[in-house]
Amino acid sequence: MYVCLCEGVTDKEIEKAVDQGARTMRDLRRNLCVGSQCGKCTCHARDVLHEALQARPDVIEVPIRDASIPMDAEVIYS
């Protein structure tokens, strides 16, 4: 299924990019130009990216930085 119509990117291409090392939307934008035109695909592309990452046994989830914590604060994740 097409995810990004502007660049003609499919869900399978996103999954292949994940297999080749893509881990973030920035990686997808750099490698496939996803979301670089109109941006309407970014939510769906992010969902496909997260599903593909969850399907990989070698990828672990890393917590996203809490925006309420100042950047200079020391954060210890357990």
Predicted confidence (pLDDT) per residue in 17-65, tens digit: 999 999 999 999 999 999 999 999 999 999 999 999 988 877 666 555 5
CATH architecture of 1-78: Orthogonal Bundle (1.10)
Model pTM? 0.74
* Domain-wise residue ranges, the chain: 1-78
- The backbone torsions φ and ψ at residue 69, rounded to the nearest 5 degrees and listed phi first, read -95, 125
- The backbone torsions φ and ψ at residue 3, rounded to the nearest 5 degrees and listed phi first, read -100, -45
What Cα–Cα distance (Å) separates residue 48 from each residue in 22, 31, 54, 66?
A: 12, 15, 10, 23
